[in-house]
Amino acid sequence: MEALLSVHMSSRREAKIMERAISVDSSPGSKSSREINSSGSVVQIKITATDLGALRASLNSTLRGVMIVGEVL
């Protein structure tokens, strides 16, 4: 199972900050994984999980991180 997210930031600089900030929150050995890239002012996030519960948990964690970084910027 997977989820794809695109987060539009105000600038390329903010997109890079967002990418670095939410990349830190990954734990090896979990049931899910994330790929995070930025292109211009857009941050693209791909979450892959073994089951729906793991996908939901990773999606919630990622979105919480995106919201926090967005509030700080």
Per-residue model confidence (pLDDT) at position 26 = 63
The tens place of each residue's pLDDT in the chain, 73 residues long, gives 999 999 999 999 999 999 999 988 666 668 999 999 999 999 999 999 999 999 999 999 999 999 999 999 8
Task: Tell how far CA 8 is from the center of its chain.
Answer: 12
Model pTM above 0.85: yes
Q: What is the distance between the alpha carbons of residues 40 and 26, in angstroms, rounded to a whole number?
A: 23
**CATH no. for residue 11?**
3.30.310.50
| Integer CA distances (angstroms), 28 to 3, 38, 48, in order | 19, 22, 13
- DSSP 8-state code for residue 54: H
Whether residue 46 contacts residue 22, with contact meaning beta carbons closer than 8 Å, is answered with no
Q: Which residues span the domain enclosing 37?
A: 2-72
- How many domains does the structure of the chain reveal? 1
Per-residue model confidence (pLDDT) at position 47 = 95
Q: What is the distance between the alpha carbons of residues 16 and 20, in angstroms, rounded to a whole number?
A: 6
